Amino acid sequence: MSGTERYLLPRNSLLWLITAQGLAIAPMLLVLPAWLMGLWTLVLIWRLQEFRGRWPMPGKWVKTLMVVVCVAGLFVSFGRLLGLEPMVTMLICALLLKQLEMQRRKDALLLVYLTFFLIGVQFLFSQTLLACLYGAVCLWCAISSMLSMHQPTGHERPWRSLRLAGRLFLHTVPLMILLFLVMPRFGSLWSVPSPTQSAKTGVSDSMSPGDFSRLSRAGGVAFRVSFERPRPPQDQLYWRGLVFSDFDGRSWSQIKGRNWGYREGALVNWQQGPKSDWRNDAELLGDDASEPLTYNIIMEASHQSWLYSLMVPVEFEQDPLYGVTRDFTLLRRQPVHQRLQYEVTSQLDYRLQPESLSPRQRKLELALPDGYNPQSLAKAAEWRQQSDSEQEYLNRVLAFYRDNFFYTLEPPALGRDSVDEFLWQTQRGFCEHFASSFVVLMRAGGIPARVVAGYQGGEYNPVEDYLVVHQYDAHAWAEVWLEGKGWTRVDPTAAVAPNRVQSSLGELQSDMVEGAMSLGRYRHLKWIGQLRMEWDALNYRWHKAVINFDSEAQNQLLNRWLGGVSPLKLVLFILLAGGGLLLLMSLHLWWRARPEPKSLALRQCARFERLLKRKGWIRPADEPIGEFASRVSSSLSAKHPKTAGAVSEFARLFELEQYAGTPVSASQWRRSLKNLQQTLRAL
């Protein structure tokens, strides 16, 4: 190639390369900066126009300007170059800019290899079954592009590369499955921290009026739960996430650091250390104490460090990353950036700190900010004075909610004194309004109380016997401390809208919490409801069988197959299984490429030629059988008329069947060849 020559990528290959790149980039545009879409569009138009001969290749100054724009975009979007999202954005920019300077074959191959890598990067953001199928389509297109570069006439048959790539891809699937099952599990590539700039999902670390009503419209799955024995009733499924004890007059948050009011001991009991004494503050009660409830949770990425469980969690994952706080919230040292599976054993019948609270903790759980919600504080003091006991006061407040309030996903906005405005003016709200105002009334009446945030209920999937907890199931409730009973769950939302805690919010108001394109919006149609359950169950099985296939699951599988795992057994298994798969693939390829079977006439003709070849007569490849037979008969007719007649007779039979379409029986062929063989012996 001279200095002025430039490699022209075949049209077919350019088509599949652009398609593969576009498909690989598309899902990441949902979490990466929007300006990448503009860059991709510009590069695509420029490349197509250059291919058509309308525009020249970009010059040095144009390419320099585009690099500067990309670097500036990175700093404006992220403020840094290190991190997952900036590095992925930089990779996409490099891939797109390389497209504009592709002038040699090796440039084109480099683009294909970068596209392969980019397809793998997709799985840093999602590992669902749909993402896997989507990635396979991207890979199919990328392989098609690479194959078409080596097909001189590929542009004449654009779908040939796609079909060939599909066959090659399918041939690799068995070997890929084998390697997936036997290769050592060192941790997945996507276990690295996931997008840090993307919005956090699920319950946040604070609660203000309107937070949960907005979350209820977010859609999506929070986690899935499978139980080892029949699941509890719906109104007992309170999935504890966070406990809020600090109130600034409008928002609730967790108590920070040393402000906790506990007497002694660490605030978090991590699994690598001994079991803290304060975990005995949860006194287990009733017949269920001998039958704790064990369940398995598959939690979607929340980018937060807290987990969810039923109260009270007595056992959970034996991993140093897991721990439990003083208020019995499960924690993980690392935020949940990808799907996470963990197991918990909970005791549902319990008393938490039934004896007493420390003076400092009591003070913290009774604290209210000065100068906020004066009307509510005054009314609470009046009601408490009129009540003979804490329980009577609590019941009076619940009756007040039951008789005067309405449950709605569209509560009116509240101002500075949000509790006063809600209790005495709007009286319309969502769970966070009821929980927040209820705890304020309890504290104002001298009863220690706090807000608990998490999820309530869930939707049962009978296909795989598990519970799906959606984002719209996010819920807030209260815990009050009563003498002799300890911390007791009280849900004022249940007093206002009992159906909310007896059914999933999606079942009650699917048109409000599901998007227009969501199948959940049309769950009242039986076939759509069944389709939803089947698809969700398929994703559930995918995660348990594939994404969660760790070293422990691999060892269990290989122990069942091999009766124990050792290096020798593993090597022999890989050699035998891999060799068997390669042999089957080779046989399949040979079978597809084998020549078509010859007809009976052609097989007999081959025998005819072999008989004459022994006597020195050889038929050229371009000589018809009839002419060959005439040539042999002419040379034999004078001295060996019988042999000449046998040759002519065979030629006649061959032409009858091969050209005239007249069937010749097997016995006729045998007699003709036998006669020829006998006459040739006399020569």
Summarised one tens digit per residue, pLDDT across range 126-179 is 888 888 999 999 999 888 888 888 776 545 566 788 888 888 888 888 888 888
Whether 23 is in a domain gets the answer yes
Which of 491, 536, 543, 605 does the annotation list as catalytic? 491
Q: Are residues 582 and 676 part of one domain?
A: no
> What's the pLDDT tens digit per position in 45-59?
888 887 777 888 888
What is the structure's pLDDT at 391? 92
Asked whether the predicted pLDDT for residue 219 surpasses 70, the reply is no
The count of other CB atoms within 10 Å of the CB of residue 67 is 13
Q: Are residues 85 and 43 part of one domain?
A: yes
Residues contacting residue 513 through CB under 8 Å, at least 6 positions apart? 216, 217, 219, 409, 470, 472, 505, 506, 520
What CA–CA distance (Å, rounded) separates 573 from 504? 49
Residue 337 and residue 301 in contact, taking contact as beta carbons nearer than 8 Å: yes
Residue 125 in tokens = 């953001």
Q: Are residues 45 and 127 part of one domain?
A: yes
The count of other CB atoms within 10 Å of the CB of residue 172 is 13
Of the chain, the percentage scoring pLDDT greater than 70 comes to: 87
Whether 645 is in a domain gets the answer yes
> What's the pLDDT tens digit per position in 570-595?
788 888 888 888 888 788 777 777 77
Average model confidence (pLDDT) for the chain? 82
Whether 362 is in a domain gets the answer no
Whether 391 is in a domain gets the answer no
What is the structure's pLDDT at 480? 95
The pLDDT of 289-314, averaged and rounded, is 86
Q: How far is CA 279 from the centre of its chain?
A: 36
Q: Give 200 or 643, the one with higher predicted confidence.
A: 643
Give the neighbor-by-neighbor strand order of the sheet with 268-270: 268-270, 322-325, 330-332
What is the structure's pLDDT at 4? 45
Domain count, the chain: 3
DSSP helix/strand/coil, 550: coil
Asked whether the predicted pLDDT for residue 187 surpasses 60, the reply is no
What CA–CA distance (Å, rounded) separates 224 from 235? 17
**Final residue belonging to a domain, choices 183, 205, 226:** 183
Whether 44 is in a domain gets the answer yes
* Range among 82-91, 199-208, 486-495, 613-622 with highest mean pLDDT value: 486-495
Which of 70, 93, 141, 431 does the annotation list as catalytic? 431
Residues contacting residue 602 through CB under 8 Å, at least 6 positions apart? 658
Q: Are residues 165 and 53 part of one domain?
A: yes
Spell out the alpha helix ranges (H) of 330-373: 359-366
Q: Tell me phi and psi for residue 449, to 5 degrees.
A: -155, 160
Torsion of CA 440, 442, 443, 444, to 10 degrees: 80
Residues spanned by the domain of 672:
600-681
Lowest mean pLDDT among 217-221, 233-237, 382-386: 217-221
Whether 298 is in a domain gets the answer no
What is the structure's pLDDT at 514? 59
Q: Are residues 674 and 581 part of one domain?
A: no
Strands in 446-601 per DSSP E: 449-456, 459-461, 466-470, 474-482, 486-490
Q: Are residues 161 and 69 part of one domain?
A: yes
> What's the pLDDT tens digit per position in 10-60?
777 778 888 888 898 888 888 888 888 888 888 888 888 877 778 888 888
pTM: 0.73
> What's the pLDDT tens digit per position in 606-640?
888 888 888 888 888 888 888 888 888 888 877 88
Residue 404 in tokens = 């005067």
What is the structure's pLDDT at 507? 64
Whether 64 is in a domain gets the answer yes
Q: Are residues 164 and 106 part of one domain?
A: yes
- Give residue for tokens 């019995």: 328
What is the structure's pLDDT at 77? 86
Q: Are residues 582 and 650 part of one domain?
A: no
Quick one: pLDDT band at residue 264, thresholds 50, 70, 90? low
Asked whether the predicted pLDDT for residue 193 surpasses 80, the reply is no
CA nearest to 348, candidates 217, 489, 236, 230: 236
475 given a catalytic annotation: yes
**Final residue belonging to a domain, choices 593, 617, 637:** 593
Query: What is the amino acid identity at position 661?
Result: G
* Range among 81-85, 248-252, 367-371, 524-528 with highest mean pLDDT value: 367-371
Q: Are residues 129 and 18 part of one domain?
A: yes
Q: Are residues 659 and 609 part of one domain?
A: yes
Q: Are residues 586 and 624 part of one domain?
A: no
Residue 639 in tokens = 């001295």
> What's the pLDDT tens digit per position in 394-445?
999 999 999 998 888 778 888 888 899 989 998 888 888 899 999 999 999 9
**Final residue belonging to a domain, choices 122, 154, 183:** 183
Which of 475, 536, 543, 605 does the annotation list as catalytic? 475
Whether 155 is in a domain gets the answer yes
Residues contacting residue 50 through CB under 8 Å, at least 6 positions apart? 56, 57
491 given a catalytic annotation: yes
Quick one: pLDDT band at residue 508, thresholds 50, 70, 90? low
Asked whether the predicted pLDDT for residue 1 surpasses 50, the reply is no
What is the structure's pLDDT at 196? 46
Q: Tell me phi and psi for residue 131, to 5 degrees.
A: -65, -35
